[in-house]
Amino acid sequence: MAKNWLITGASSGLGRGLAERLLARGDGVVATLRKPGALDDLRARHGDLLQVVECDVTDVDAIRAAVAHAFAAKTRIDVVVSNAGYGLFGAAEELSDAQIDRQIATNLTGSIQLIRAVVPRLRGQGGGRIVQVSSEGGRIGYPGFSAYHATKWGIEGFVEAVAKEVGPFGIDFVIVEPGPTRTNFGAGLDRATPMSVYDATPAGEIRRLLDAGYFEFADAGKTVDAMIETIDSPSPPFRLALGKSTYESVRAALVTQLEILDAQKAIALSVMEGA
């Protein structure tokens, strides 16, 4: 049975990949993007199955208008994919105020406001699924990506709480956590002006790795396929780790965190009243 999807940030990368595959199988898609015309080829191929809405997710009014358009165009939206976002690289000291503000407005506030805008509509139709595209950077931290991690850790915390609030209404969530993937993420990476004082630090090392393209990349098509298969499942996992880097890095971080927590058990319990 065909579904209807709302996908933000659909002009390229995983967002476009989702739109291409979903349209090819006959699903309806409302795609939001900042660049008019980026999906003209898909519109020519799929006609009314695809609705395109220009939307900058840093504009709350534009988000609400796009959501209203989506639900008017398709009557029912089965899946909302919050995908719009980009990366920001630079040691915290190197970042400008404007870079930090834009990163938070796009990746965190934009995602929050999209979810807030769709929840009452999903509740009104009796349920639906919200997919938040996060990153392995929503569970671990790399030097040079502090602001990016702040947005991804932040949106994962927001989703954890909201999922508990709206579960009784038949609304559920999937948080997708890709690692390095062969998309245009690197090309769209915003970079701070480097300070030489960081050259011999871990932030400088990561900068050199970025310049050299030294990463194990996941295949974008396989990543999109895994996302769709999981989202189609009647009972998907709350978090979906995608890629070798994500699995290995997140697992190692969780094991370490658990070891540290267990070592603190005595002092943690010692502060309770009557202890």
Concerning whether 164 is annotated as a catalytic residue, the answer is no
Beta bridge partners of 79: 5, 129
Q: In this structure, what are the phi and psi dihedrals at residue 29, rounded to the nearest 5 degrees?
A: -135, 130
Question: What is the model's pLDDT at position 229?
Answer: 97
Concerning whether 152 is annotated as a catalytic residue, the answer is yes
| CATH number, domain with residue 239 | 3.40.50.720
Q: Comparing C-alpha atoms, which of 87, 21, 77, 86 is closest to residue 53? A: 77
Question: What is the model's pLDDT at position 106?
Answer: 97
Q: Is residue 210 part of a domain?
A: yes
87 CB-contact burial (10 Å; exposed 0-12 / middle 13-18 / buried 19+): buried
Domain count, the chain: 1
**Residue 217: which pLDDT band, with cuts at 50, 70 and 90?**
confident
Q: Is residue 258 part of a domain?
A: no
Collect all residues with Cβ–Cβ distance below 8 Å to 76 and sequence separation of at least 6: 4, 125
> pLDDT tens digits for 256-275?
999 999 999 999 999 998 87
> pLDDT tens digits for 53-78?
999 999 999 999 999 999 999 989 99
Question: What is the model's pLDDT at position 79?
Answer: 98
- Per-residue pLDDT averaged across 5-9, rounded? 97
**Residue 214: which pLDDT band, with cuts at 50, 70 and 90?**
low
**Residue 211: which pLDDT band, with cuts at 50, 70 and 90?**
confident
Residue 174 has pLDDT above 70, yes or no: yes
Which DSSP symbol is given to 36?
A: T
Choose the catalytic residue: 11, 82, 86, 152.
152
Q: Is residue 254 part of a domain?
A: no
Choose the catalytic residue: 82, 86, 135, 148.
148
Q: Comparing C-alpha atoms, which of 46, 39, 40 is closest to residue 16? A: 39
Residue 183 has pLDDT above 80, yes or no: no
Q: Is residue 252 part of a domain?
A: no
Q: Is residue 257 part of a domain?
A: no
SS3 71: helix
Q: Is residue 202 part of a domain?
A: yes
Residue 232 has pLDDT above 70, yes or no: yes
Q: In this structure, what are the phi and psi dihedrals at residue 130, rounded to the nearest 5 degrees?
A: -115, 125
Q: Is residue 227 part of a domain?
A: yes
Q: Is residue 131 part of a domain?
A: yes
> pLDDT tens digits for 143-162?
999 999 999 999 999 999 99
Which two tokens mark 119? 């929840």
Choose the catalytic residue: 11, 82, 111, 134.
134
Residue 249 has pLDDT above 70, yes or no: yes
**Residue 186: which pLDDT band, with cuts at 50, 70 and 90?**
low
Q: What percent of the chain has pLDDT over 90?
A: 86
Considering the chain, what is the average pLDDT of its residues? 94
pTM above 0.75, yes or no: yes
Residue 36 has pLDDT above 90, yes or no: no
Whether 42 contacts 22, CB under 8 Å:
no
SS3 80: strand
Question: What is the model's pLDDT at position 99?
Answer: 98
- Per-residue pLDDT averaged across 193-219, rounded? 88
User: What's the number of CA atoms in the CB half-sphere (13 Å) around residue 213?
Assistant: 8
Residue 225 has pLDDT above 90, yes or no: yes
Concerning whether 265 is annotated as a catalytic residue, the answer is no
Domain range for 185 is: 4-246
DSSP string across 244-261: HHHHHHHHHHHHHHHHHH
